[in-house]
Amino acid sequence: MRPAIDIISAVRDPDIFGAWFKDRATWAAWFCLLKTLFAIPLDEAELAIFRKHTGRSHPAPAGYFDVSLIVGRRGGKSLILALVAAFLAVFFDWRPYLTGGESGTIIIVAADKKQAAVTMAYLREMLSIPLLKSMVVRETEELIGLSNGVVVEVAVSNFRTIRGRTIVAALCDELAFWTTDESGSSPDREIIAALRPAMATIAMLLKASSPYARRGVLWNDYKKHFGKDDSKTLVWQADTRSMNESVPENFIAAAYEDDAASASAEYGALFRTDIEGFVSREVVEACVALGRFEMPPITGLVYYGFVDPSGGSSDAMSLCIAHRERDRSVIDVIREVTPPFSPEEVVSDFAALLKAYRISTITSDRYAGQWTAERFRVHGIQCEQSAKPKSDLYKDMLPVLNSGGVELLDHAKAITQICSLERRTARGGRDSIDHAPGQHDDLANAIAGAVVGTSIAQGGAEGWIEYLRRQVEHADLDSVRPAGPEFGYEISPLPLVSITVPQAVANEGAMTINGRLYGFRRIGTEAIVEVRRTDAAWLLSRSPPWRDLNSVLAAELLNEETA
């Protein structure tokens, strides 16, 4: 199918789209790309540009319908997407590919409403020129309907809203930064998967974005199709100034000087090597107690609370309550209040909930202001700042997740926030863990604080001190369970015996026997554990390595059992 006019003629014509491309020399790389997409022959200079940015020797004679543009920030992507949308909408006859009077939709999918508004503003201007404005028969904030039956629509990245259309072109803007929704779906993969069945026979799929981490559709396209002459998916990679010479060179140089890793992605169009996923979804979901959404307070348990506060205007305020159950942390309650809200009212509600779980002292995010502690104190709750920043809390939570040492609630948003965390490597080589751009981690932070707070080093002095502190502050000392599994120690009226720990397990630091957790201690080069005599007899009767290492004690205890 050939349009009434080719796209290069349209951008050179002052009565069509030429007003947006007056300094044509600065748009040479984009014109080369447009020729490549729409099967317009390249001259020698343009062929050199094509080879530089695609890694291929020659373009496909019929053009391309599946394209990934990996272009630096401020390279002109949004304007080109609007141009392609306008050109496809008014100069192509889509009727042979539509049935039953249906409309053909050209959809522009953006990362957020702000980005969508930018592209839509360009598009409105292009369709308002004297030659085309009479074609506009319907117009809303997110949609332009044309007299030829084509509808141009912008949508925010959500695969659920994509379905139900006949799509003749899909233009995906900044897909590397589409945020993960609460269901935990990967938005770029889900949206592309939802688009393809809705696309007409010759529909164009154009994906344009600055690169980010080495994951997702953009990265997969780059790995599979860049530099492959026989691939039907074209991947075009270009830094900002290669596509837009008007961006000052000293501006980009300053960005590299400030943060080379970030600038190489934003302006150099290179995928970041310093950002990786924090934990796999499979690991996190294995820790979820399916169907458990909240646990009521239970007499005898010692609970721990962690709050991630907020001023109420932008971030959510979150609370997590947890307890220690044998060898694992158990999340009992998650609360999140999203803005806008009154911080004073939220603190009051959180304080009432904490008291229901007999909690009088909580821990807050390290960067919480003094206001948080003051307001909780008014409601009878002592609030102490975490000794560790949230990045360190995440690091400490990771081995707990990997070992299945926590029971998480069945809370989709919290699970997604944990799975979406990223590990970044700073200039000095130090790792930090945080949420991705445009996302949030308020629930994940509160959960990490609670998990770490209830996963105190087993058998260490810190665990013993923490247990005593919570015993003293507890309102009903008689209802508190013995310390054993909660903090690595057990107050037992029964006599204990010392057992030498085999070297193979000495580094584990602790072990569980019959539901009781015992911590190891070092005496010289040996690890020793003190356990109940009945537990020692049980262990030595069943484990040859332990029995061989403690032969005298084993003989004594086993004789007692047979006597």
Q: Lowest-confidence range among 165-174, 456-465, 524-533?
A: 456-465
What's the pLDDT score for residue 267? 94
User: SS3 for 310?
Assistant: coil
Q: Lowest-confidence range among 149-153, 244-248, 354-358, 485-489?
A: 485-489
**Per-residue exposure over 25-36, b if at least 16 CB sit within 10 Å of its own CB, e if not:** ebbebbbbbbbb
For 128, other C-beta atoms within 10 Å of its C-beta total 12
C-alpha–C-alpha distance, residues 297 and 322, integer Å: 10
pLDDT beyond 80 at 326: no
Structure letter (DSSP) for residue 270: -
Report helix angle 187-198 to 216-225, nearest 10: 70
User: Residue holding tokens 């009878």?
Assistant: 380
What's the pLDDT score for residue 531? 85
**Per-residue exposure over 220-242, b if at least 16 CB sit within 10 Å of its own CB, e if not:** ebbeebbeeeebebbbbbbbbbb
The two domains 63-266 and 281-453 share their CATH topology (first three levels equal): no
Q: Where are the domains positioned within the chain?
A: 63-266, 281-453, 492-562
What's the pLDDT score for residue 562? 62
pLDDT beyond 90 at 157: no
- Backbone phi, psi, residue 210, to 5°: -70, 145
What's the pLDDT score for residue 279? 86
What's the pLDDT score for residue 489? 45
pLDDT beyond 50 at 401: yes
pLDDT beyond 60 at 156: yes
pLDDT band of 215, cuts 50, 70, 90 = confident
Q: Domain 63-266, what architecture?
A: 3-Layer(aba) Sandwich (3.40)
Amino acid at 452: V
What's the pLDDT score for residue 252? 93
C-alpha–C-alpha distance, residues 520 and 542, integer Å: 20
Query: What percentage of the chain carries pLDDT values higher than 70?
Result: 85
Contacts 24+ apart (CB under 8 A), 126-134: 126/17, 126/20, 126/82, 126/83, 126/86, 127/86, 127/89, 127/90, 127/152, 129/15, 129/16, 129/17, 129/19, 130/15, 131/15, 131/16, 132/86, 132/90
Q: What mean pLDDT is predicted for residues 469-489?
A: 45
Secondary structure (DSSP) of 24-47: GGGGHHHHHHHHHHTTPPP-HHHH
Instruction: Record the tokens describing residue 211, joined without a space.
Output: 């690169």
pLDDT beyond 80 at 59: yes
Give the CA-trace dihedral at 92, 98, 103, 108, to 10 degrees: -60
pLDDT band of 520, cuts 50, 70, 90 = confident
Tens digits of per-residue pLDDT, 13-51? 999 999 998 888 889 999 999 999 999 999 999 999 999
User: SS3 for 162?
Assistant: coil
Q: Phi-psi bin for 301: left (phi > 0), alpha (psi -120 to 50), beta?
A: beta
What's the pLDDT score for residue 221? 94
Distances (CA, A) of 268 to 55, 263, 366: 16, 7, 35
Query: What percentage of the chain carries pLDDT values higher than 90?
Result: 42
Q: Phi-psi bin for 33: left (phi > 0), alpha (psi -120 to 50), beta?
A: alpha
Amino acid at 156: V
What's the pLDDT score for residue 477? 42
Strands 66-71 and 431-434: unpaired
What's the pLDDT score for residue 442? 92
C-alpha–C-alpha distance, residues 158 and 112, integer Å: 10
Tens digits of per-residue pLDDT, 265-311? 999 999 988 777 888 888 999 999 999 999 999 887 889 999 998 76
* CB-based contact 209:218 (threshold 8 Å): yes
What's the pLDDT score for residue 515? 63
For 201, other C-beta atoms within 10 Å of its C-beta total 9
H-helix or E-strand spanning residue 264: helix 260-266
Average pLDDT over the chain, rounded to whole?
84
* CB-based contact 155:116 (threshold 8 Å): yes
What's the pLDDT score for residue 301? 84
User: Residue holding tokens 């691939």?
Assistant: 231
pLDDT band of 130, cuts 50, 70, 90 = very high
pLDDT band of 490, cuts 50, 70, 90 = very low
Secondary structure (DSSP) of 467-520: HHHHHHH-S-GGGPPPSHHHHT----SS-EEEEEPPHHHHTT-EEEETTEEEEE
What's the pLDDT score for residue 161? 61
Q: Phi-psi bin for 63: left (phi > 0), alpha (psi -120 to 50), beta?
A: left
C-alpha–C-alpha distance, residues 103 and 82, integer Å: 19
83 closest CA partner among 145, 195, 8: 8
C-alpha–C-alpha distance, residues 212 and 68, integer Å: 14
Q: Lowest-confidence range among 440-454, 468-482, 511-525?
A: 468-482
Provide the H-helix boundaries in 68-107. Answer: 77-91
* CB-based contact 287:455 (threshold 8 Å): no
What's the pLDDT score for residue 339? 86
- Backbone phi, psi, residue 532, to 5°: -60, 150
H-helix or E-strand spanning residue 391: helix 390-402
Q: Domain 281-453, what architecture?
A: 2-Layer Sandwich (3.30)
